[in-house]
C-alpha cells in the first residue's frame, strides 16, 4: 500500500499534468481557451456541465484512476472549499505508474485543467459538498473515458498538509 500526503497545488508543480486555473480576484474575465485540447481527428462535442460532489472521508483508500485520451478536462470551482488532485505519469505499459503518483491539495479558488491523456483520480473534495463546472470534448466513443485500477491500494491522507478550512455556509434567515 502507498500512503500519500498532498503538496500545495501550484502551476509549476502541476505543469507536467495540465494547468492550474486561477479565478479572477476582481472584476475581470479570464479566458482558459488555450488550455482546451481536442486531439481527435474527427469532430467532438463540447461537454459543459456542473456537478455536485460530496466530501470524501479521510484517509481515503482507492485504486481507481481515469484518463480522457483525446480531451483535456477542466474543473472550475463554483462553490468549493478544498479538494485533492491525484495524478500519475504513464508507466511503460501505458497505464498509470503507481510508483510516481503525486497528490496535490487545491484551494477553493483554484481550478485544474488536465491535459489530454493524463491519468488522474476522480474528484475528491474535502470539508463540505462542492460544485464544479466541467469542460471537455466527447464523441460518444469508448475513449471518452477510461478507468483502470492500480495494482495496489493508495491511501490519500491530509497528514501534515495544512490549508485553512472553509466551513459550511450559514443558512439564510
Q: What is the pTM of this model?
A: 0.89
DSSP, collapsed to helix, strand or coil, labels residue 5 as coil
Residue 173 has pLDDT above 80, yes or no: no
Beta carbons of 78 and 53 less than 8 angstroms apart = no
E runs forming strands in the chain: 2-4, 7-8, 18-22, 45-53, 60-67, 73-79, 82-88, 102-107, 110-114, 119-120, 124-126, 130-138, 146-156
| pLDDT score recorded for residue 33 | 86
Instruction: Tell me the C-alpha distance between 28 and 25, whole Å.
Output: 8
Which position has the higher pLDDT, 172 or 80? 80
What Å distances lie between residue 77 and 25, 113, 151, CA to CA?
14, 11, 31
Residue 48 has pLDDT above 90, yes or no: yes
Residues 70-80: pLDDT tens digits? 999 999 999 99
State the pLDDT confidence band at 163, using cuts at 50, 70 and 90. very low
pLDDT over 70 percentage in the chain: 92
| pLDDT score recorded for residue 55 | 97
| pLDDT score recorded for residue 61 | 97
Domains of the chain: 2-25+35-156 (2.60.120.480)
Please provide the DSSP assignment of 85-129 as one string: EEEE-B-TTSSB-TTS-EEEEEETTEEEEEPTT-EEPPPEEESS-
Amino acid at each position: 500500500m502507498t500512503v500519500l500526503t498532498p503538496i500545495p497545488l501550484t502551476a509549476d508543480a502541476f505543469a507536467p499534468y495540465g494547468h492550474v486555473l486561477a479565478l479572477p480576484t476582481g472584476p475581470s474575465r479570464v479566458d482558459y481557451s488555450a488550455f482546451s485540447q481536442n486531439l481527435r481527428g474527427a469532430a467532438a462535442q463540447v461537454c459543459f456541465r456542473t456537478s455536485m460532489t460530496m466530501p470524501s472521508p479521510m484517509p481515503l483508500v482507492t485504486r481507481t484512476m481515469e484518463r480522457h485520451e483525446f480531451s483535456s478536462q477542466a474543473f472550475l470551482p463554483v462553490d468549493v472549499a478544498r479538494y485533492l488532485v491525484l495524478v500519475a505519469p504513464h508507466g511503460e505499459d501505458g497505464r498509470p505508474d503507481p510508483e510516481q503518483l503525486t497528490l496535490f491539495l487545491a484551494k477553493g479558488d483554484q481550478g485544474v485543467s488536465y491535459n489530454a491523456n493524463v491519468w488522474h483520480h476522480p474528484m475528491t473534495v474535502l470539508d463540505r459538498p462542492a460544485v464544479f463546472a466541467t469542460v471537455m470534448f466527447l464523441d460518444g466513443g469508448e475513449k471518452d473515458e477510461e478507468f483502470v485500477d492500480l495494482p495496489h491500494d493508495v491511501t490519500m491522507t491530509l497528514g501534515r498538509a495544512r490549508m485553512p478550512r472553509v466551513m459550511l455556509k450559514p443558512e439564510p434567515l
